[in-house]
Amino acid sequence: MDEAEIRAELVKLLPRLRQFALALTGSRADGDDLVQDALERALKRLDQWRVGTRLDSWLFRIAQNAWIDQVRSRRSRGRIVTEDPDADAPGIDGAAAMTASLTLSKALRVLASLPEEQRVVVALVQIDGYSYREASEILGVPEGTVTSRLSRARAALMAQVLGEDAP
């Protein structure tokens, strides 16, 4: 695969990458900034991607690293980020999402309440549809770690989404 072909494949991954970034950052604007950051990083090291491995996993790993860096740098600057998707993106709930039992803005609020390490697992597995094993490969952690993070996240999600105290 030459560079033009890889780039063409990256273009196809953009909708998924944007959805992933939206789930992580909680807002469309921050999400697209993260997408840009991730793409710039990926383009700088296209030569590190190995043919025969999955380009999407590689890209998502870069995106999650970029996100962690952003979170850390915000913390080190002492900026407390209060995530408020509603304020950031009026009308973020499209017609399709409004008919769902959980609106997008509520989902983003719930995700924002999760610790980062749990949020990223939920975004990979529950929203994008990666298997536990694939998520563990993207994050570079054992599969058991993915399972336990997801399990803790799920308990919190059930409490907030379904209004339950315990799973």
Instruction: Give the other-Cβ count within 10 Å of 154's Cβ.
Output: 17
Binding mask 76-105 for another protein (x = CB under 8 A): ------------------x-xx--xxxxx-
Collapse the DSSP code of 16 into the 3-class scheme (helix H, G, I; strand E, B; otherwise coil) and give the result.
Answer: helix
φ/ψ (deg, to 5) at 162: -100, 0
Stretch that binds another protein, among 36-44, 48-56, 63-71, 73-81 (CB under 8 A): 36-44
Supply the minimum distance, in Å, between the C-beta of residue 77 and another protein. 25
Residue 31 CB-density burial (10 A; 0-12 exposed, 13-18 middle, 19+ buried): buried
φ/ψ (deg, to 5) at 33: -65, -40
16 vs 61, beta carbon nearer another protein: 16
Cα end-to-end span (Å), the chain: 47
Interface with another protein, residue 158, by CB under 8 A:
yes
Q: Point out which residues bind another protein (CB under 8 A).
A: 3-5, 7-8, 10-11, 14-16, 18-19, 22-23, 32, 35-36, 39-40, 43, 94, 96-97, 100-104, 106-107, 122, 125-127, 131-132, 147-148, 150-151, 154-155, 157-158, 161-162, 164, 167
